[in-house]
Amino acid sequence: MSEADTAFVLICSAFVLFMTPGLAFFYGGLGRRKNVVNNILASIFIVGLEIVLWMLVGFSLAFGEDHGGVIGGLDYLLMNGVSSSEAGPYASTIPFMAYALFQMMFAVITPALITGSVAGRMRFEALFLFILAWSLVVYYPIAHMVWGQGGFLAEIGSVDFAGGNVVHISSGASALVLCVALGRRNGFAEVSYRVHNIPLVAIGATVLLFGWFGFNAGSALAADGLAVHAFATTALSAASAELGWMVMDVILDRKPTLVGACTGLVIGFVAITPGCGFVPLAAAIPIGFFGSVICCLSCSRLKARFGYDDALDAFGCHGIGGMWGGIATGIFASKAVNPALGWNGLIYGETELFCAQLLSIFVTIALAIVGSLVCIAVVRALCGGRLRVSEREEREGLDLSQHGERVHPSFNGLDD
């Protein structure tokens, strides 16, 4: 046991938890004024729900004894047998409870990412029930398949250092399914959806920036050279992606924007997450830069082409960015960086890892889609078939209709 490693992982756990209010601010600023409270609460309520759910059953289902390579058992129900003084099977230098707490913070932020896709139109009780069901049906099985002992995707040799499949692809694919099932916002093709509060977007993005170093470097589970390497690749990817989105802003709109720069930073983190502890430092530049370009085109062109209403681009940023990151890991990963790899990446002339990455992405997407459809069906049944607010409630705004609150109670302007 190492006191230094334990302290490092606990601090990183706090960093990752801090990302969820950062995401709340980010989504709150991007949304419309009349929905800001709802957008922020959509992330904040998940802190309470997911921590309770994780302690009760989530950790056990994700990291308990393997069943068919898909799900864990109930051996850690109510955190039974999860020691706060002895190491567990997943990390040898920190208490088992420290590992469980670190993983808990991933379980908190992942479903919060989904909420951006349905901003401005989903009933709060339906969203609450969907997140509850989604955690059980989608998140815990994917976490077990990728990170759990005996998990199917781990067994085929695919790798995911800090959550490309588990966090970003799963939430991004589910976000797309949910926003399509919910339908477009009223006036989607006619209304210009303006960013409500750009400084709040910047605050949220910089909080995410701060926390993401705990997210990625902390996934080394020790205060060692691998954590340092993951920290460095994370920084370089985020910086490259910020520049990439600014370049795209200039090409597409002839002006760089603060919202674009902040979005680029987030994309850089997303893209490097699966490979930050596997790829050489130099590889972080193309991973971040081209990830930003791909996601920018997805948000500005792909969404318009197919007409789905991913309100705050949860799929365009996290789904697409996570897929690119998983593929890029299969291209650039090197056993010289991390000997735990079974194979080198495609640029070293080996194809096995690249193929395993493609298969893992396909399996994650398939499970997220099917699982989300199941969750939607269950929630529809429980909510009398009503997933979204009425047209009048949507026009009024979800802050008032769902929560009885206004973000600016004395505001008398004419914008919405």
- pLDDT exceeds 90 at position 345: yes
Mean pLDDT of the 246-271 span:
96
In this prediction, residue 410 carries a pLDDT of: 58
Residues 63, 1: Cα–Cα separation, whole Å: 20
What long-range pairs does 149-155 form, CB within 8 A, spacing at least 24? 149/63, 149/66, 149/89, 149/90, 150/66, 150/69, 151/66, 151/69, 151/70, 152/68, 152/69, 152/70, 152/363, 153/359, 153/360, 153/363, 153/364, 155/69
In this prediction, residue 370 carries a pLDDT of: 98
- pLDDT exceeds 60 at position 415: no
Which comes out higher in pLDDT, residue 400 or 415? 400
Mean pLDDT of the 17-23 span:
98
In this prediction, residue 195 carries a pLDDT of: 87
Mean pLDDT of the 95-114 span:
98
In this prediction, residue 412 carries a pLDDT of: 53
Q: Which single residue is written with the structure tokens 């200039």?
A: 250
pLDDT digits (tens, 9 = 90+) for 295-308: 999 999 999 899 99
pLDDT digits (tens, 9 = 90+) for 276-297: 999 999 999 999 999 999 999 9
Under 8 Å between Cβ of 56 and 78: yes
In this prediction, residue 309 carries a pLDDT of: 94
- pLDDT exceeds 70 at position 414: no
In this prediction, residue 406 carries a pLDDT of: 85
In this prediction, residue 278 carries a pLDDT of: 98
In this prediction, residue 383 carries a pLDDT of: 95
Tell whether the torsion through CA atoms of 302, 358, 335 and 350 is positive or negative. Answer: negative
Mean pLDDT of the 378-395 span:
94
Domains of the chain by residue range:
3-403
H or E segment at 10? helix 3-30
Buried b (16+ CB within 10 A) or exposed e, 33-51: bbbbbbbbbbbebbbeebb
CA-nearest of 22, 28, 26 to 47 is 22
CATH topology of domain 3-403: Ammonium transporter fold (1.10.3430)
Q: What percent of the chain has pLDDT over 70?
A: 97
Mean pLDDT of the 212-223 span:
97
| 81-95, 176-190, 317-331: segment of lowest average pLDDT | 176-190
pLDDT digits (tens, 9 = 90+) for 52-76: 999 999 999 999 999 999 999 999 9
CA-nearest of 135, 111, 120, 123 to 46 is 111
pLDDT digits (tens, 9 = 90+) for 139-181: 999 999 999 999 999 999 999 999 999 999 999 999 999 999 9
The model's confidence at residue 335, banded by pLDDT at 50, 70 and 90, is: very high
What is the rounded average pLDDT for all residues in the chain? 95
In this prediction, residue 95 carries a pLDDT of: 98
Mean pLDDT of the 344-364 span:
98
Mean pLDDT of the 75-87 span:
95
